[in-house]
Chains A and B, each alone.
Chain A
């Protein structure tokens, strides 16, 4: 039942505006892949393309080796969970969940049985006769989920399914979705603009920007080894500093920015080319008042994060954001040094800058 999904250099437009450009994405059988990106980057458009509500101007969409590109939407057999749930307002919960089975000509008795089983599975057994208007947001979400799951599709797609729920329910539901998806082993595409949600639920995440996939990798890789400046900024490397290697000795490296020498090590950051961009999270630059091998800085605004202080600083390498320990608050206007913490830093090639 589980099948791989393959988008092959798909381009899509609305009228004359290009929304997706040469987008390729290979989702393995049984894998859950998230599309992650800012509003308007083309996530929903990608889903609509796969679902068949929009035709690509070029490229192909394949599911389990079958070419879907020309197949009408109603014959694609894809389970879709909409952002606003899109339940049928005039049908009961039972009617909503049974709709897909009815279209498939499943006999009434079997349909009833499968709907029951599915409703029990999502914990809505007692609500079968309610209309959607008489359900809470979380319950509607479950109905939408049940409606998509009950047809046992080879591909499930979710368009920001949790964005209308409160924070606590959101975390519970995403675990539930992950469990249901795992136990069925259904290939899934999940759209969200919440990074934590995407990283926690997915096998792999495609980070999208302006209709392109910027990087498609496991969450761990994205988080530690972004492939370009866009992804680096997206996953929280707020400081991007251009650097030049001045000396190498084994894995130890001397690098220089604006005349300031820094000691780095390839062990923690991966291979370093001669010219590179150093990406550092705020926690990857340790602010310290004692003179050290770091970037000299003047402390600007200090904010309290609970686990640390965060400082906006002025440095010869430009404005940077650094963190410092709670035990050692630094006052605005004082002199400090920002020391890179290698395992909170990443190395980016300058030529990959978009």
Chain B
């Protein structure tokens, strides 16, 4: 028995796909256009706008900065967030309930306010280098995602397994690495990818924390479109997509888990 498809449902599904895939197709098309302005469908085929990315030094620099910041911020957030998520689930009964909320604040508070606050406090106040301010901002930005995702993964973890290991003679710290972490690996990978992409795509926090000489790719894209209307931004977008997908593939391969399917 095959269920009959409701035409309205099919129509909605098609529309959703169009909205999701449409922009990607348009960007890909526009990036390949031979014209000096953004257009779709592309007129003529050329890779010159991809080459152009690398001729503009600001793009070269910001791509590197963006990936550096995304990677380092993600790692920092993991170093802080994994123990935090662990403590929040392990000692849920003993800890005050607002403590968990604390880690979601950066999501709840509008990012612009938060970014501005950070600019004031970190960069200007302490006279910290711009890169440090940027890194700190992004770490705080992605931390809630890390805590949430790993927390969700730990909520199905049976802590008596940890006690079993301890009773067999494994010290608590070692137990965390040999027993707890391997069992929430899928969550760690998911958190990594989510945090990385969040940082890579961020505009609002970065806007307040970039400065002379140091900027991120999304900010550079904004700056570029203010002056030029050529297809370079489309090419950068495609490049960014390819790099992100490639990076995710590497993370997935090396850690060997199909968390996205779950």
Interface membership of A78, Cβ < 8 A? yes
Which residues does chain A contribute within 8 Å of B167, judged by CB atoms? 51, 73-74, 76, 78-80
Interface membership of B183, Cβ < 8 A? yes
Given A74-B171, A74-B172, is A89 in contact with B161 using a C-beta cutoff of 8 Å?
Answer: yes
Taken together as a complex, chains A and B put the C-alpha atoms of A53 and B164 apart, in Å, by 11
Taken together as a complex, chains A and B put the C-alpha atoms of A26 and B111 apart, in Å, by 62
Closest A residue to B162 using CB positions: A86
Interface membership of A88, Cβ < 8 A? yes
Interface membership of A77, Cβ < 8 A? yes
Scoring B residues 166 to 189 as 1 if CB is less than 8 Å from chain A, else 0, what string do you get? Answer: 111111100100010011000000
Interface membership of A223, Cβ < 8 A? no
A82 touches which one: B94, B160, B170, B172 (CB < 8 A)?
B160
Closest B residue to A81 using CB positions: B164
Are A104 and B169 touching (Cβ within 8 A)?
yes
Given A51-B163, A53-B163, is A86 in contact with B168 using a C-beta cutoff of 8 Å?
Answer: no
Which residues does chain B contribute within 8 Å of A90, judged by CB atoms? 182-183
Interface membership of A140, Cβ < 8 A? no
B161 touches which one: A88, A100, A103 (CB < 8 A)?
A88
Taken together as a complex, chains A and B put the C-alpha atoms of A74 and B169 apart, in Å, by 4
Interface membership of A84, Cβ < 8 A? yes
Taken together as a complex, chains A and B put the C-alpha atoms of A189 and B123 apart, in Å, by 61
Within the complex, what minimum Cβ distance (angstroms) separates A140 from chain B? Answer: 12
Scoring A residues 79 to 119 as 1 if CB is less than 8 Å from chain B, else 0, what string do you get? Answer: 11010101111100000000110011000000000000000
Within the complex, what minimum Cβ distance (angstroms) separates B259 from chain A? Answer: 15
The interface centre, meaning the residue of A76, A79, A86, A151 with most chain B CB atoms within 10 A of its CB, is A86
Tier of interface size on chain B: 10 to 19
Taken together as a complex, chains A and B put the C-alpha atoms of A79 and B161 apart, in Å, by 14
Are A86 and B170 touching (Cβ within 8 A)?
no
Are A86 and B163 touching (Cβ within 8 A)?
yes
Which residues does chain B contribute within 8 Å of A86, judged by CB atoms? 158, 160-161, 163-164
Are B164 and A103 touching (Cβ within 8 A)?
no
Interface membership of A225, Cβ < 8 A? no
Within the complex, what minimum Cβ distance (angstroms) separates B246 from chain A? Answer: 28
**Dominant SS at the A interface?**
loop
Tally chain A residues at the interface, Cβ within 8 Å: 25
Taken together as a complex, chains A and B put the C-alpha atoms of A89 and B160 apart, in Å, by 12
Interface membership of A147, Cβ < 8 A? yes
Interface membership of A307, Cβ < 8 A? no
Are A75 and B169 touching (Cβ within 8 A)?
yes
Given A74-B169, A100-B169, is A89 in contact with B183 using a C-beta cutoff of 8 Å?
Answer: yes
Taken together as a complex, chains A and B put the C-alpha atoms of A130 and B163 apart, in Å, by 22
Which residues does chain A contribute within 8 Å of B172, judged by CB atoms? 74
Are A99 and B165 touching (Cβ within 8 A)?
yes
Closest B residue to A150 using CB positions: B168
Which residues does chain A contribute within 8 Å of B158, judged by CB atoms? 84, 86
Interface of chain B residues 133 through 164 with chain A (CB within 8 A): 158, 160-161, 163-164
Taken together as a complex, chains A and B put the C-alpha atoms of A80 and B94 apart, in Å, by 25
Which residues does chain A contribute within 8 Å of B94, judged by CB atoms? 15
Closest B residue to A159 using CB positions: B160
Taken together as a complex, chains A and B put the C-alpha atoms of A77 and B158 apart, in Å, by 22
Which residues does chain B contribute within 8 Å of A75, judged by CB atoms? 169
Scoring A residues 47 to 80 as 1 if CB is less than 8 Å from chain B, else 0, what string do you get? Answer: 0000101000000000000000000111111111
Which residues does chain A contribute within 8 Å of B169, judged by CB atoms? 74-75, 77, 100, 103-104, 151
Name 20 extra pairs, CB < 8 A, besides A86-B160, A88-B183: A73-B163, A73-B166, A73-B167, A78-B167, A80-B167, A82-B160, A82-B164, A86-B158, A86-B163, A88-B164, A88-B179, A89-B183, A99-B168, A99-B170, A100-B169, A103-B168, A103-B169, A147-B168, A151-B168, A151-B169
The 4 closest A-B pairs by CB, nearest first: A103-B169, A100-B168, A86-B164, A86-B160
Could you show 24 A-B contacts with beta carbons less than 8 Å apart?
A: A15-B94, A51-B163, A53-B163, A72-B171, A73-B166, A73-B167, A74-B166, A74-B167, A74-B171, A74-B175, A77-B169, A78-B167, A79-B167, A80-B163, A80-B164, A82-B164, A86-B161, A86-B163, A86-B164, A88-B165, A89-B183, A99-B165, A103-B169, A147-B168
